[in-house]
Amino acid sequence: MSSMSGLYIGVSGLNVSQAALNVTSHNLANVDTTGYVRQQVVLTDFNYIKLGDSYVSSMIKGLGADFATVKQVRDNFLDQSYRQEIGREAFYEAQYKSVEEIEGLFGELEGESFQNTMNDLWISLQELAKEPDSVVARASLIQTSVTFIERAENISNQLNDYQVNLNTQLKDQVNRINEIGEEIKQVNWKIRQYESTGVENANDLRDQRNNLLDELGKMVRISYKENADGIVNVSVEGVPFVTEDMSFKMDTVRVSDTTEMLKPVWVAFGNIDVFNLDRAASSLDNTDIGSLKGLLTSRGQKQANFTDIPKRDNYASDALYQTAILDFNIGINSSVVMSTQAQFDQLIHGIVTTLNDILSPNKQVTLSDGSVIKILDVDKAPVGMDSNATKGEALFIRKSMPRYGDEEEVTYLLDDGVSYDSIWTRIYNEEDSADNYSLFTLGEIEVNPKIMQDYSLIPLSSNSGSGDYDIETAKKLISEWQSAFSTLSPNTLTSYNFSDYYTSFISEIANRGEQYYTISTNQAAMAESINNQRSEVTGVSSDDELTNLIKYQHAYNASARYVNVVSEMLEHVIMNLS
């Protein structure tokens, strides 16, 4: 019996050494496989034989070694940390790419610079102010105005197209997320089936699943937990995504009926939004994770214009104004595309309306019914050089709405607050934020076709009938361009003139891009550091594995030699007994 147990010990040594050699060979074969995790053989004692009892303890004899399992060498804490940090990096990287795209549209780094277009318009205004009756100066103003609007429209259209084209990236990511969910579900089933025998762990399948979780963690914020059957349940943004027998899919739907913008929703949960964008992204709340949310945040929910920037005069109280600022910061300013659209449109609107109001001035009057309107100020309005001395022709017009209605008699309250006077004039068609066609906004502005056909209609002459040009109007064209007209946003106090506004506007985009770049690169360094720590635990070292290979080969040879010795001993004993 003792000799037979000796054979058991030798055979167990062969078995565990062979198993260790197999695992070591598998590690070496996958030394360059992405996501592969080093495997180890866990050895344990084989059975024991009880020989009897002594006065101290039981007398037992071991029958060698056995391997308990083949385990992966992983650190779950590092896995979770890596997936969170790589997701945060992707969130800011997506926004940085949007900033890069926007900077290219304005051409300030290379290509045709929009600042040059503004300078050309400014120079043409200066030349016209010097010689208001010069046909050359008037032609130059018209030409630079056309170029100015065309260039601004081109930038605006490219911004809008880029914003819509982000839908493609969004849909691609949603489709890939759905694919990952289905793949994780399938791998879960395979792992449960493979490990149901309790003989061996499905380590290679677990590697595959962990690679999928790494990829998913870069796109969305995830949490997950493995149950006793080896099934990993995954949640995305706090909503179940993969369970034991289901994977819940996302879809994309339009944000509203009036926009082409898409947003991701959970199909199985009544098309509820995947992301809550009513809160500002914050690392404290872990709401700044995932490239999908980064795309949504940078793109925004609509095409913005100057009306989306709150102005104190448009609100009845400070409380309402502060509420509007909060909504602006969350809904508009958080999106690099939408904030750029709104601020750029505010610049164009400011230039257009300022020049228009100089050439075709309005005044506000109160009617007998108490309503307040704007009318053409016929007393102050300069006239054209044409034979009719035309008043009220603005340099820029709205494509779908004239500046004024037809001439009519208006009875209004005089400055004394008691008397009324009547005048034949034209009522100004006010801008209405609810009606895009009424706004002097990009897409709805063009140079006045009448003035383009007849330069003499530019109202720069005095309405006194003398035929002289209006000196005050000419001076205003220069002074108003250099006067402060607006802040960039309600979050800043500095009010800029047109040139300084544009400089500050471009600087803010660049600073924003630098901020996103810094955060994303810092996050990339952090994620790389964590991944290096993971690799130290999970990675395969060819030198270590070759050392193990030699060690287990020697162990196998030693066990084989041991079996041979026991066999020879048994043969010698048996032959001598016979």
For the cut 70, the answer to whether the pLDDT of residue 314 exceeds it is: yes
Task: Give 393-440 pLDDT, tens digit per residue.
Answer: 999 999 999 999 998 888 888 888 888 888 888 999 999 999 999 999
* Contact status, residue 125 vs residue 478, Cβ threshold 8 Å: yes
* Contact status, residue 516 vs residue 95, Cβ threshold 8 Å: yes
In a domain, 41, yes or no: yes
Tell me which of 8-12, 94-98, 383-387, 421-425 is least confident: 8-12
For the cut 60, the answer to whether the pLDDT of residue 151 exceeds it is: yes
In a domain, 427, yes or no: no
In a domain, 384, yes or no: no
Q: Which two tokens stand for residue 262?
A: 């898409």
Q: How many domains does the chain have?
A: 1
Nearest to 355 by CA among 441, 458, 439: 458
Looking at per-residue pLDDT, the higher value among 7 and 481 belongs to 481
| Residues in CB range of 442: below 8 A, 6 or more apart | 152, 153, 156, 305, 344, 345, 348
Work out the average pLDDT over 325-333. 92
Looking at per-residue pLDDT, the higher value among 433 and 24 belongs to 433
Q: What is the mean pLDDT of the chain?
A: 87
In a domain, 346, yes or no: no
For the cut 50, the answer to whether the pLDDT of residue 1 exceeds it is: no
pLDDT at residue number 68: 64
| 238/222 Cα distance (integer angstroms) | 8
* Contact status, residue 234 vs residue 216, Cβ threshold 8 Å: yes
pLDDT at residue number 134: 86
For the cut 90, the answer to whether the pLDDT of residue 446 exceeds it is: yes
- Exposure of 533 by Cβ count < 10 A (0-12 exposed, 13-18 middle, 19+ buried)? middle
In a domain, 450, yes or no: no
Task: Give 351-363 pLDDT, tens digit per residue.
Answer: 999 999 999 999 9
Sign of torsion over alpha carbons 563, 565, 567, 573: negative
In a domain, 17, yes or no: yes
Q: Which two tokens stand for residue 289?
A: 């994770």
pTM of the predicted model, to two decimals? 0.84
Helix (H) or strand (E) run with residue 224 in it = strand 222-226
In terms of phi and psi (left: phi > 0; alpha: psi -120 to 50; beta: otherwise), the region of 442 is beta
Task: Give 230-253 pLDDT, tens digit per residue.
Answer: 899 999 999 999 998 899 999 999
Range of the structural domain that residue 553 is part of: 2-71+540-577
For the cut 80, the answer to whether the pLDDT of residue 559 exceeds it is: no
